Amino acid sequence: MPEQTRTFARMIASLGEEAEAINWYEQRISVEKDESAKAIMQNAQKEEFKHFEMDLEFLLRQKPL
């Protein structure tokens, strides 16, 4: 398999992992009562969104529409 295809597959996997992490944080945030803990989780979720965005941008550059 070409290196470009393997890289693409790894980035697809990473995209899914970031989406999963975003969902986990969403669930935790929705039930957290401690505001300090909730703020930390919201910040962490924001970072996961950034990672998701970077993965998606990379993939779109590899496969322009």
pLDDT at residue 63, as a whole number:
85
- Average pLDDT of adjacent 10-residue blocks, the chain of 65 residues: 94 98 98 98 98 96 82
34 three-state secondary structure: coil
Nearest Cα to Cα of residue 42 among 28, 54, 57:
28
Structure tokens at 54: 């970077």
pTM over 0.85? The answer is yes
Residue extents of the structural domains in the chain: 3-60
